[in-house]
Amino acid sequence: MATNGNPPVGVSKNIKQIGRTDLPGGGSVVVENGYAYVGHIDPPFGTSIVDVKDPTRPKLVAQLEVPEGIHSHKVRVSGDVMLINYERYKAKGEPQAGLKVFDISDKTKPREIAFYKTHGKGVHRFTFDGRYAYISPTVEGYLGNIAMILDMKNPQQPEEVGRWWAPGQWTAGGEKPTWSRTDTRCHHPIRRGDRLYISYWHGGFAIVDITDMSKPKTISMLDWSPPYPCPTHTTLPLANKVMDRDFMIVTDEEVGEKLNETHNAFLWVVDITKEDLPLPVATFIVPFDGKSTHEFRFGAHQPAEQVYGNTLYVTWFGGGLRAVDFSNPYIPKEVGYYIPQVGKGQKVVMSNDVYHDKDGKLYLIDRYDGLEILESQI
């Protein structure tokens, strides 16, 4: 669906809404056992827990707050354990940042049980498999965020077991960066088997062997920014081989600090069959004739990290949610989309994150307002 100027809102193809609730703008959403967990962008809102057992009538059951100068816009859950990030936000003072751990056995009363404190700005995006957390903290002696593995066997005592960084980040160890400021930094790691696939902003991405978690080993790195203007946001391997080869979907992020005003953020298909030589083989982009601004962005952002087949659901900011079929990885094909109505008190749509559950429902959070529950007809 091509667009001219700002795209239409409230339109869809092969995806329909089955429920919605107003919530403060969100940075991430995860769903487990009938509850949705939403991390919010702006303080004082931190994390919301929403009962979605009846998806047509989502109900807020708890909401955590954060102090001024912090946002807690990312959340992960496994069983009765919830992890949320604490990241310094908009340069308001120097509040303590890091990763907080909660007991959520009572969903209406989350109880803090640990705070893994970090140096500087804190933790950005992360993943959690129930035993290990793969986080992106700022660490004293390093320039920008690095990748770190925490053992959460005892949730009350998170323990670092390994770290990985791009050569040049460890300034305390005498390394010298070849980039400006913190342009090369960890965005978030995703684990599949004994590999970490790590998005690294203007440093591209890395494939890292974590067979020995205490000694992560670089297999390969690849960066295309520049000449492409947008930083690497997410590196997501497909679940199974396609055409007898292994592929990874990579999204750049449409950001305000692009190197130029043209070329909205791409989605890439990368052949990782030969891990030490990742090869981009295709791109996907939604045509857009308007202009991205700080308030309104149109371009790639974040795929649902739950992968069940060859169709992925990708948030596209002002372009809503896009369903993309990778059955032929060399020719990605859009097979559906959903652009929400504008949220309460807002001027534009900014679809930010999506969760895809095993029943096929999609949980879409807007950066400004609202949680939508959708059903795919694909």
Please report the DSSP string for 145-187 in residue order: --EEEEE-SSTTS-EEEEEE--TT--GGGT---SSSTT-EEEE
pLDDT surpasses 70 at 145 = yes
Tokens of residue 158, six digits: 């998170």
- The pLDDT value recorded for residue 318 is 94
Average pLDDT of span 125-131: 98
* Statement: residue 81 has pLDDT above 60: yes
* Interval 343-370: pLDDT, tens: 888 899 999 999 999 999 999 999 999 9
Higher pLDDT, 138 or 255: 138
Question: Is the per-residue pLDDT at 136 higher than 60?
Answer: yes
Structural fold of domain 11-376: Methylamine Dehydrogenase; Chain H (2.130.10)
Please give the Cα distance from 365 to 353 (Å, whole number).
Answer: 5
Lowest mean pLDDT among 72-76, 196-200, 225-229: 225-229
Least confident of 131-135, 154-158, 342-346: 342-346
Show Cβ contacts of residue 240 under 8 Å, excluding neighbours closer than 6 positions. none
Phi, psi of 173 (to 5 degrees): -95, 10
CA 340 and chain centroid, separation: 20
How far apart, in whole angstroms, are the C-alpha atoms of residue 13 and residue 169? 45
Condensed to tens digits (0 to 9), the pLDDT of residues 91-126 reads 778 899 999 999 999 999 999 999 999 999 999 999
Coil/strand/helix, residue 211:
coil
Q: What 3-state DSSP class applies to 108?
A: coil
Tens of pLDDT, residue by residue over 285-294, are 999 988 888 7
d(Cα 349, Cα 293) in Å, to the nearest integer? Answer: 13
Concatenated DSSP letters for 219-285?
Answer: EEEE--TTTS-S-EEEEEE-SS-BTTB-EEEEEE---TT-SSS-SPPPEEEEE-SSTTS-EEEEEE-
Banded model confidence at residue 257, pLDDT cuts 50, 70, 90 = low
- What's the mean per-residue pLDDT of the chain? 95
Cα 353 from Cα 243, distance rounded (Å): 29
- By DSSP bridging, strand 26-32 and strand 15-24 are unpaired
In this predicted structure, what is the pLDDT of residue 295? 83
Q: Where are the domains of the chain?
A: 11-376
| Residue 49 confidence (pLDDT) above 90 | yes
> Of all residues in the chain, what percent are helix, strand and coil, respectively (each to 5)?
0, 50, 50
> Which residues have CB under 8 Å from 337's CB, separation 6+?
1, 11, 12, 13, 14, 15, 319, 320, 321, 322, 323
pLDDT on residue 89:
94
3-state secondary structure of 371: strand
